Structure 1
Amino acid sequence: MSEAYESLMKGLNEALAFARGEKTVAVVHHVAVPELDVAAIRASTGLSQSAFARSIGVAKGTLLNWEQGRRRPTGPAQVLLAMIARRPSLVRELLR
């Protein structure tokens, strides 16, 4: 077997052992994801819901769901919103 195959198998076996609750040598990283107030973030930009949704590349309905708490942004959207929360002018700068 190749070295790459052996490495993959070792990693998969460690993942399975970890999932079963067994003690492993795997390093576990816990990432704290902050709660985002999407309505407040949008308001800080001064943009309407439609304009803000267009500026970040999501449907207005998606933005409404986030703002009303029916859904939560995940992945790249969450990162982008966190960046905008720290620097609201970012949206206008990028739209120029």
Structure 2
Amino acid sequence: MAKEAFETIETGLKDALAFAKGDKSKAKPRTVEVPAVDVAAARKKTGLSQDKFAHIFGISPSTLRKWEQGQRHPRGPALVLLNVIAKEPKAVLRALGK
């Protein structure tokens, strides 16, 4: 059993090294669909001002304003965090000790 585990890990490492060198033949791309979020509504659920919300969650106030005005759209980890805030604002604030 330990030998099988080692061989699986070894194969994965070899594939990862090959991928890093440009060999995409064994790559298995994964995409995760994260829904768009109404940033202003998510912020309002927290009861925080734009400046306070931006400070607590590490977002520049300018970026937050642009998201709320629809001039820009959050992506990646910011979009995921905003989705969690939109659904469970108190839990996120509690987790951050706020």
Q: TM-score, normalised by structure 2?
A: 0.68
Q: 1:25 to 1:76 in 2, by over 3 A?
A: closer
| Greater relative contact order structure (CA < 8 Å, 6+ sep) | 2
Consecutive unaligned residues of structure 1, counting only runs of 5 or more, are: 16-23
Cα RMSD over matched residues? 2.6
**What's the % identity of the aligned pairs?**
45
1:10-89 pair list within 5 angstroms: 11=19, 12-13=22-23, 15=24, 26-89=27-90
Structure 1 residue ranges (4+ consecutive) displaced by more than 2 angstroms after TM superposition: 3-9, 24-30
Shift of 1:43: 0.8
User: Deviations 1:14-50 (Å, cap 9, x if unpaired)?
Assistant: x2xxxxxxxx664343321211110110011111111
Consecutive unaligned residues of structure 2, counting only runs of 5 or more, are: 1-9
Q: How many residues align?
A: 84
